[in-house]
């Protein structure tokens, strides 16, 4: 249990801006060894240091992964309030341990109940080993009493966020919400929560009117929003309209999506700004006349597909490809939630489609958003806990992804009526950007 207490203390100290994530974790691990482990006879300074580093790495992995999934867990807790339901077990539900004790005892004070629950729910939902406590331990039992509700809310959240993998869910939250700065410590509240108005169901003016009627205030710019939310994000109801993407609204990062009715019913779609760019650049932001047909080559989970659908309008058509059955299910659920009647979903591999297939003779634009390394996502924390072997596997994966990206872009460029292809990636690697373009060009024209 002490390991979980240490992990929760680390999160408390991150919240209270007591240093960088790494320094907090390794200081806690070192002091834990000093306090709890008497050196054995003959133990060398190097062996003690090695043990501290090993303990620190283990603690860092758990804390970094919990922070990576933090907003997902917070959203689940807003519906399944474990702290309230199990108040006899966890006691205070305070989110912070500020001022709880003197500096002398700070390292050993009881962690906040909220941080402890974050760690435990992370292990229960997202770790293959589960909660590393005895089955009869009261803390583990308290979490597992709500296992069905927690997992059900996780599943609902994946549908609402239009993702089929848990790792994608974490990334979707990280791209548009608060993050931990590993160098300076603390929480960065300057990244807004992006919500796109689904113009299939209502207009941008109607959306802004809904927020205003609900007591929200529209501010003039993104800068004004982030300046106001940095002090008390839980209490301010403010939003801003993005200046580049039509119908994209910025909300405070601390907003609880489950409490927004338009998000629940599909009138608002959680989609970060970068994800909106490919469709906007490919098609603009107004229905085309005459109507056009578009292919979304790798459509799941469906955010970009629904945006394409809203732009081409009811007289246009979007062909959405997804070969994985589970991801295809998520795609179709998202299309249904968004009310897209002009989308034709195909459970098949886009690469297997013949360029001369009559169904696609009128397709003039293709959006290609293949799997990538995700290296350009600014808020990712998983690199903190990677081993050398994992980094090597990542290098091999990046090369494999680059080859796939080249193949799919080359395939898209060969459709006879296509005059525009948009390729998007959140990778920063040259092999996935400029080198990929060069390879695709060579395949097409040599």
Please tell me which residue in 345, 426, 431, 432 is annotated as part of the active site: 426
Q: Is 322 annotated as a binding residue?
A: yes
- The pLDDT of residue 373 is 39
Q: Is 205 annotated as a binding residue?
A: no
In CATH, the architecture of 275-445 is 3-Layer(aba) Sandwich (3.40)
Identify the segments of the chain with pLDDT beneath 70: 32-55, 92-109, 160, 162, 174-190, 228-235, 371-400, 426-446
- The pLDDT of residue 253 is 76
**339 preceded by a cis bond (ω within 30 of 0):** no
* Domain 186-271: CATH class, spelled out: alpha beta
Identify whether 432 is a catalytic site residue.
Answer: no
- The pLDDT of residue 179 is 38
Contact 238, 252 (CB under 8 A): yes
d(CA 275, CA 271): 6
- The pLDDT of residue 239 is 95
Q: Is 231 annotated as a binding residue?
A: no
Q: Where are the domains of the chain?
A: 2-160, 186-271, 275-445
- The pLDDT of residue 87 is 86
């Amino acid at each position: 249990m002490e390991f979980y207490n240490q992990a929760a203390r680390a999160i408390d100290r991150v919240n209270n801006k007591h240093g960088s994530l790494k320094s907090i974790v390794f200081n806690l691990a070192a002091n834990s060894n000093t306090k709890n482990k008497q050196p054995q006879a003959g133990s060398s300074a190097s062996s003690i240091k090695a043990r501290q580093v090993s303990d620190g790495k283990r603690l860092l992995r758990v804390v970094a992964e919990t922070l990576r999934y933090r907003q997902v867990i917070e959203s689940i807790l807003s519906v399944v309030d474990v702290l309230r339901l199990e108040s006899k077990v966890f006691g205070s539900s305070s989110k912070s341990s500020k001022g709880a004790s003197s500096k002398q005892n700070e390292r050993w004070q009881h962690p906040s109940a909220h941080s402890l629950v974050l760690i435990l729910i992370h292990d229960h939902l997202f770790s293959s080993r589960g909660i590393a406590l005895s089955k009869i331990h009261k803390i583990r039992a308290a979490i597992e009493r709500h296992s069905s509700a927690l997992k059900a809310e996780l599943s609902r959240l994946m549908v609402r966020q239009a993702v089929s993998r848990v790792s994608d869910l974490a990334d979707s939250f990280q791209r548009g919400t608060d993050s931990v700065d590993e160098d300076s410590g603390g929480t960065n509240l300057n990244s807004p929560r992006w919500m796109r108005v689904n113009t299939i169901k209502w207009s941008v003016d109607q959306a802004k009117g809904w927020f205003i009627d609900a007591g929200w205030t529209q501010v003039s710019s993104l800068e004004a929003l982030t300046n106001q939310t940095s002090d008390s994000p839980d209490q301010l109801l403010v939003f801003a309209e993005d200046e580049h993407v039509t119908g994209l609204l910025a909300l405070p990062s601390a907003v609880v999506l489950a409490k927004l009715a338009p998000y629940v019913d599909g009138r608002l779609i959680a989609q970060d700004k970068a994800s909106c760019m490919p469709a906007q650049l490919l098609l603009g932001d107004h229905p085309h006349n005459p109507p056009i047909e578009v292919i979304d080559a790798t459509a799941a989970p469906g955010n970009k597909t629904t945006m394409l659908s809203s732009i081409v309008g009811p007289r246009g058509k979007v062909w959405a490809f997804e070969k994985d059955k589970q991801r295809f299910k998520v795609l179709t659920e998202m299309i249904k939630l968004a009310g897209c009647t002009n989308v034709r979903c195909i459970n098949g591999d886009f690469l297997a489609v013949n360029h001369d297939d009559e169904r696609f003779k009128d397709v003039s634009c293709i959006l290609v958003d293949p799997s990538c390394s995700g290296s350009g996502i600014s808020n990712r924390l998983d690199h903190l806990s990677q081993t050398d072997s994992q980094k090597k596997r990542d290098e091999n994966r990046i090369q494999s992804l680059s080859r796939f990206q080249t193949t799919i872009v080359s395939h898209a460029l060969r459709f006879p009526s296509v005059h525009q292809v948009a390729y998007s990636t959140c990778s920063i690697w040259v092999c996935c950007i400029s080198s990929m373009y060069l390879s695709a060009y060579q395949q097409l024209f040599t």
